[in-house]
Chains A and B, each alone.
Chain A
Amino acid sequence: MKKPGSHDSPGMGGGKPKAEGARIRRPGGAVLPLDPEVERWFAAVGAAFPASRSSIIPMLQSAQASLGYLPRDAMQAIARHLKVSPVTLEGVASFYAQFRFDKPGRHRVTVCRGTACYVRGSSKLMDDIQADLKVAAGGTTADGEVTLEAVSCFGACALAPVVVVDGTVNGRVSSASLKALVDAAGQHPQPQPGRRTKAGA
């Protein structure tokens, strides 16, 4: 199957939102227009997918790539296009770990909980950063700045404990150096391109 369109950023190709069919039913029968960013994605990319059930996963992936996550309106738009029930899409999407349903923070901090990192104190690292950011693993800070995640192993055990900040792998991290890394990331409005550093070195 030809992949229609590329995974552009939400701002691209937003000039011609589809006027027709751009409304969906909300609970209680009220009908509201969808979120404009979703409509832009749909007009630019989504509408070109063939309207068959085999488009479900490619469309979910396309929407997430474009919007950063799968807002409810994106599933509504896909459901409308494919003539399936929105909850059917949610059933598919929520089965896979690759899809996220909450808007991610501007920065992403991933703490490794693999065996080697655990032995080198990653659980204390996680406890401290959770207390510091006032957010549980898997969540996003109230100001929308940081999403904190845990992974099972990064495969960089020699550098344990490992924390990835915005795609940059940091080895031998301590609670203090992690706080500094997160603070430093917060200085940049956009995530910096990923590279490897040894924070403790």
Chain B
Amino acid sequence: MLNLTINGRAVQVEPGKSVLDACRSASVYVPTLCDDPDLEPYGACRLCIVKIEGLRGLPTSCTTPAAEGMKVTTEDPELLEVRRWTMQLLLADHPLDCLTCAQCGSCDLQTVAMHLGIRERVLRPMARDAKIDDSNPCYAIDMRKCILCGKCVRACAEVQHLGAIDLVRRGYASAVEPFGGGPIRDSLCESCGECVERCPTGALTARRYLRPEREVSTVCPYCGTGCRILLGTRGDSVVSARGDHDAPVSRGRLCVKGRFGSFEFVSHPDRLKTPLIRTAGGFREATWAEALGLIASELKKYRGDEFGGLASAKVTNEDNYVFQKFVRAAMGTNNLDHCARLCHSSTVAGLALSFGSGAMTNPADDLSDADVILVTGSNTTENHPIIGLKIREAVERGAKLVLFDPRQIQLSQIATVWARQRPGTDVAWINGLMHVIIREGLANREFIESRTEGFQAVEKLVAWYTPERVASITGVPAGLIVDAARLYATAERGSIIYSMGITQHTTGVDNVRSLANLAMLTGQIGRPGTGVNPLRGQSNVQGACDMGALPDVFSGYQKVADAGARAKFERAWDAKLSDRPGLTVTQMLPAALEGSIKALYIMGENPVLSDADATHVAAALGKLEFLVVQDIFLTETAKLAHVVLPASSFAERDGTYTNTERRVQLTQPVVPPPGQARRDWEIICDVATAVGYPMAYASTSAVDDEMRGLTPSYAGISHARLGTGAQLHWPCPSPDHPGTPILHRETFVRGLGQFHPAEYRPAAEETDASFPVVLTTGRMLEHYHTGTMSRKSKALHGLVPGPFVEVNGDDAKRIRVKNGDPVRVTSRRGSIVLPAKVGSRVEAGVLFIPFHFWEAAANVLTNPASDPTAGIPEFKVCAVRLERAPDPGPS
């Protein structure tokens, strides 16, 4: 520790701290406008000047390192005078419309003016020729109020690792601008708002913001990263959102969805506020008693395997636990699934077979230890933006990025190796990498021998996959296969990141297991900075799986077919349980169509938009004798229901969420639910009771207590422990267990890691003369899933108001369409018309459509053919035809 004297008071600071830090630890206010704890010291505003005995002049305290014995004076008449003149210079061209300024009350310039006692503007006012940029629907830019402190520029570079803006020109003409000076909307800007959050004045302000009365930390409702948001409230409405700096995963950072699009839907007028019952002409409002009575009398008819339940990856662990108990114990069936089937069921199945546990092996912060990061089938910077930042950070630090992705995603710009495989050829290139690694003697024989089994079969199989053969299958040049193999295999710590580009194939399980083979072949697992890391797509999709919202397992992946596990649950739940694994969501819908499933209960899912072959899904749901949908909005699926029940949004419930890293996080309600809406687990308990299986809990944590008693991997993760700030990753078997951030350290969960030889199999649907183009679908930064939440946000909707299809310039030229022209995309299952986005993000012969938009639903086209083991549909490859739409008319 260093000893300093600040204004005569002794303070101690750690070495490496600045004089400004020392002043602050002495509780002395030093005015500053350009300092930020997340940014490097900059020394631009010249207000934090101090006097230091023995040093000449007035050094800026933010850029002066604290040193032993320093005697610092922070305020005297001379310092005050210099600071006042500095402020006068800043104020000379600053508008004084403070009362109507968006920053009023939280403006640092105001604070400093107040502190210095500025009473008048002494310099002749100058009007600066600065512009107002109104192009971004998330935040407003008024450069007249800019004081050129450079915080926004530094936040963009140092926090977001992007560099969309910089200080250009000089002197009076200086300004912060994106490249070329055009509207910010047309720049590289990702609208993350890190600049807006740090702007000391009203130059950058969020468009939808009211000063909150109080703030509550909760988990972001969007992807599976598990960032925490501080939602600000006034009365019962949410009025602001910002990053929670105490959050372990995000450390205050948020993406555009979390910061600008996470709360508008909460108090949206379209929220469901009462139960609805279908009538001949639509829906009518009903009381809870009436709705529950109707549900009870109907559901009693379908007890057993005529009933199915779809749980939700957006609700808490407690909600999902209660739901699976309801389906299994009250309704007597294992026909239970949720949308993890559609995103990562191949991961859950594949990694469980290879390693014994179907989840991310390492925490996301481990990326900072990795030398080589292999990313495939994950557009990380758009779909898990905060994990994307960790990748950008790692690359900036010197880690090498190897990217296999058919699309020119943002990560391709910082990749050392970027290979564009043809969609659906992943097993081939992974086998190719293994071929090169074995051929060049880079395999980790010691690891293979001591930790794994079944290697010989893989060694024999990959011998055929020479880089040249792989090149002819995948379209990736042989040289890149060799480069990628060498980089990954020779890394001290190599990490694999993947997502739905790997899983959503008829070969999904083979893809996942091939990546597991690759990690075991090189021993890149079980240590910090390594591992096989599937990024999960929804805020609690990991938890919904862990809670047993799956047809074959109870909570904690205890198999329903296992007599011991079943006996344990039968005892605890006092019910006879089925030993037969139930139907998956991809089996339930066809079963509904043919009549063997007669009633469905859907909690917080929208299969009409999210499942493959939408026309078929709607037909299947229409065929049901009874459909209950419990949701926060009247979704495309809810419109088909017989009874709709109003549930709580993320801001209204308490409970735990498990993020993609297996980290369990506790949340509190931020606002009460609107109208008669209720917590999901409470509704389910009432439904179960009404059908004759009484369920009741005193609180959410009482649900958690019951769940933990039956689920060894969660046994030690109590609300009480989480409430003290403990960061716990499952498995955590006892109250004193520290949790397990890194899996498979000494041994694999299943004992030995199992190699699995996988031959390349082509996609289920290949291109032909009538359908010559490959369609791949996916997500984008600005929207989320079926748009139920994100499209209610004016900010997100403003950024991307409608659907589009990415078309390569050559393909566009061939059918004579320009950027923005409507095109028709047709598959064997359906046809949609939507505007073309022409560029080279996709290669010729490939199209990409995001699936968020009901008006041109990508899943009208997709192929429901699915992986034989996991049942995941092949969303990533189907054959289509691209045509110029005949008439741009009113579509």
Contacts and interface: CB of A to CB of B under 8 A. Distances in A.
Interface of A: 23, 25-32, 72, 75, 83-88, 90-91, 94-95
A28 B837 CA distance: 9
Interface string B743-764: 0000000000000000000000
Contacts of A75: 179
A91 B163 CA distance: 11
B173 to A, nearest CB: 9
A31 B840 contact: yes
A172 to B, nearest CB: 34
A87 B165 contact: yes
A95 B177 CA distance: 13
A94 B180 CA distance: 11
Nearest to A72: B180
Given A32-B839, A85-B179, A90-B179, A27 B186 contact: yes
Contact of B163 (A26, A27, A84): A84
B180 A30 contact: no
A28 B840 contact: no
Contacts of A26: 839
Contact of A87 (B177, B809, B838, B841): B177
Given A25-B188, A95-B169, A85 B164 contact: yes
Nearest to A25: B413
Given A27-B188, A30-B819, A87 B839 contact: no
20 contacts: A25-B410, A26-B839, A29-B410, A29-B837, A30-B837, A30-B838, A30-B839, A30-B840, A30-B841, A84-B163, A85-B163, A85-B164, A87-B163, A87-B179, A87-B187, A88-B163, A91-B166, A91-B168, A94-B168, A95-B170
Interface residues of B, number: 30
B260 to A, nearest CB: 18
Given A29-B841, A32-B839, A87 B186 contact: no
B179 A31 contact: no
A32 B819 CA distance: 13
Contact of B187 (A27, A88, A94, A95): A27
B838 A72 contact: no
A29 B410 CA distance: 8
Given A94-B169, A95-B170, A86 B179 contact: yes
Interface string B831-858: 0000001111100000000000000000
B819 A88 contact: no
Given A23-B408, A28-B837, 8 more contacts: A31-B841, A72-B179, A83-B414, A85-B157, A85-B162, A86-B179, A91-B166, A94-B170
Nearest to B175: A94
B780 to A, nearest CB: 9
Contacts of A29: 408, 410, 806, 837, 839, 841
A84 B166 CA distance: 12
Chain B interface main SS type: mixed
Nearest to B184: A27
Nearest to A75: B179
B840 A23 contact: yes
B739 interface: no
A83 B163 CA distance: 11
A182 to B, nearest CB: 29
B167 interface: yes
A90 B179 CA distance: 7
A87 B168 contact: yes
Interface string B168-194: 111000000111101000111000000
List the 8 shortest-distance A-B pairs measured between CB atoms, nearest first.
Answer: A85-B163, A30-B839, A91-B166, A87-B179, A27-B186, A87-B166, A86-B179, A31-B840
A86 B162 CA distance: 11
A85 B819 contact: no
B167 A32 contact: no
A156 B810 CA distance: 58
Most chain A CB within 10 A, of B168, B414, B838, is at B168
B349 to A, nearest CB: 33
Contacts of B837: 28-30
Contacts of B809: 32
Contacts of B170: 94-95
Contacts of B188: 25, 27, 85
Contacts of B165: 87
B426 to A, nearest CB: 23
B169 A87 contact: no
B60 to A, nearest CB: 22
Contacts of B163: 84-85, 87-88
Contacts of A31: 408, 839-841
B164 A87 contact: yes
Contacts of A86: 179
A77 to B, nearest CB: 13
B40 to A, nearest CB: 15
B148 to A, nearest CB: 12
A1 to B, nearest CB: 23
A91 B167 contact: yes
Nearest to B410: A25
Contacts of B840: 23, 30-32
A99 to B, nearest CB: 11
B9 to A, nearest CB: 41
Nearest to A91: B166
A95 B167 CA distance: 9
Nearest to A26: B839
B169 A28 contact: no
Most chain A CB within 10 A, of B157, B167, B179, B809, is at B179
Most chain B CB within 10 A, of A75, A83, A91, is at A91
Contacts of A91: 166-168
A90 B410 CA distance: 21
Most chain A CB within 10 A, of B166, B169, B408, B809, is at B166
Interface string B588-608: 000000000000000000000
Contacts of A87: 163-166, 168, 177-179, 187
B578 to A, nearest CB: 49
A91 B180 CA distance: 10
A75 B167 CA distance: 16
Interface in B706-734: none
A72 B177 CA distance: 14
A56 to B, nearest CB: 12
A28 B820 CA distance: 12
A86 B177 CA distance: 11
Contacts of A83: 414
Most chain B CB within 10 A, of A32, A75, A94, A95, is at A94
Contacts of A28: 186, 837, 839
Interface in B79-121: none
Most chain B CB within 10 A, of A29, A32, A86, A87, is at A87
Contacts of B180: 72, 90
Contacts of B819: 30
B166 A90 contact: yes
Contacts of B177: 87, 90
A45 to B, nearest CB: 22
Nearest to A96: B170
